[in-house]
Amino acid sequence: MFNNNRKSFLGSYKIIQHVSSKIIGLAPWTLKVSSTFSDRDQIPNRNITYSSSWGGTVYNIILFWGIASFGIYRMIISAIIQRINDSLLIITIHQLLFVTLINASFIPLIYVIRQKNMIKAINNLKTVDFLLNQCADYTLESDYTNDVIYAFNMLMNFGLITVDLFNSQVMSVLFESIPSIISSGVMIQYTIQLNKMNRRFNSINSAFSKLGDHNSKSDLNCLPSVTQVVQSRALIFHAIDLTKKAYIELCEMCEMITDFYGIPILIAIFSFSVRALFTVYISILSIVQIQFSTMVQWYLLAMRITFAVFLFTTLTYSVTAITKQVTGTIATYLVIGVQFALSSRLTRNN
């Protein structure tokens, strides 16, 4: 009963992730729903299958024109009002927010143009897991880090929008929040994909380490028969060959994912950084200028700063972690290869 409820909850949560990403233009592809409800312990069935969608493509194009048109309309209206009432600082902030909004509007369009590479990279996870699950020493433990990261991103965006609605008009909130929502979504998506790759590199490293342990133990056994040695080495070399193929596939997937997210990530970092810098700047002004402090909601500034730190920290950690894993996998593979080569020579000499 508990296992069925858990599978249903996880499947529903995956659908929520997909729908929420599709709404903001970060998932123009179609999700195969049936795969999300499979048992989480069955690795090959756990991966989600994606395919191109004309509906998602048309929606993203409409979203691009809608956001761009809204930004231009909002900027024209704000410019008329600000010339009379607002200071130079407020005008500058609105102009930069307009630039971030226009930049963010191009992200759904980029997703449509380059979605085939991303679909291919994600679907190749099934091939990788199929290869790796043929190795007896390979295990991919359940990990809910990506689910927690995505949930935190949704909660922070929802919380910030809700708080803003109590202090500003709906149009102003949308004008300021759309770039942050799309940018944070891109950064979280890229982080999640890197974490998926990182888990598999980590599991490959663990499998290689176990292969090395088996080799050391086999060398310590007392006078194994020739047949046992040949069979043991054949199985180990077969496992090494499978993990090598999976490693190559993972490296190609990492290249495709990095290539896909390259421009969107740059836009997202720029857009979110502008908002974060203005948040810090307003905080400094509120401390220096006493008369300005009455206009500032400190809890809102704290939420924005916390959210920015969270996004950049998770993204940086994921990039650093997968870089270390790739380097570690290469080193482990070379060590295991040398061990088997030396062991084979000693066996032949004996």
**Whole-number Å distance between alpha carbons of 147 and 306:** 19
Q: Check residue 37 and give its pLDDT.
A: 47
Q: Check residue 190 and give its pLDDT.
A: 95
**Helix/strand/coil (H/E/C) assignment for every residue in 243-302:** HHHHHHHHHHHHHHHHHHHHHHHHHHHHHHHHHHHHHHHHHHHHHHCHHHHHHCCHHHHH
DSSP SS3 for 31: strand
Q: Check residue 35 and give its pLDDT.
A: 46
Q: Which amino acid type is present at position 236?
A: I
H/E segment holding residue 193: helix 170-220
Question: Which residue has tokens 């896909």?
Answer: 260
DSSP SS3 for 157: helix
Phi and psi (nearest 5°) for 30? -100, 140
Q: By the 8 A CB rule, do 212 and 336 touch? A: yes
CA angle 44, 45, 47 (to 5 degrees): 80
H/E segment holding residue 50: strand 50-51
Instruction: For residue 111, give both structure tokens.
Output: 């997703």
**Whole-number Å distance between alpha carbons of 155 and 150:** 9
Q: Check residue 210 and give its pLDDT.
A: 67
222, exposed or middle or buried, with CB in 10 Å at 0-12, 13-18, 19+? exposed
Q: Select from 336, 310, 342 the least CA-distant residue to 204.
A: 336
Q: By the 8 A CB rule, do 101 and 71 touch? A: yes
In order along its 350 residues, the chain shows pLDDT tens digits of 555 566 666 667 778 888 899 999 999 998 775 544 444 444 444 556 788 889 999 999 999 999 999 999 988 887 776 665 656 767 777 888 889 999 999 999 999 999 988 898 888 888 888 888 877 666 777 778 899 999 999 999 999 999 888 888 888 889 989 999 999 999 999 999 999 988 888 877 777 666 655 555 444 444 444 444 444 566 667 777 777 788 888 888 988 999 999 999 999 999 888 888 877 777 777 676 644 444 557 778 888 889 999 999 999 999 988 888 776 665 555 555 545 544 554 445 45
DSSP SS3 for 51: strand
The most distant pair of C-alpha atoms in the chain lies apart, rounded to whole Å, by 94
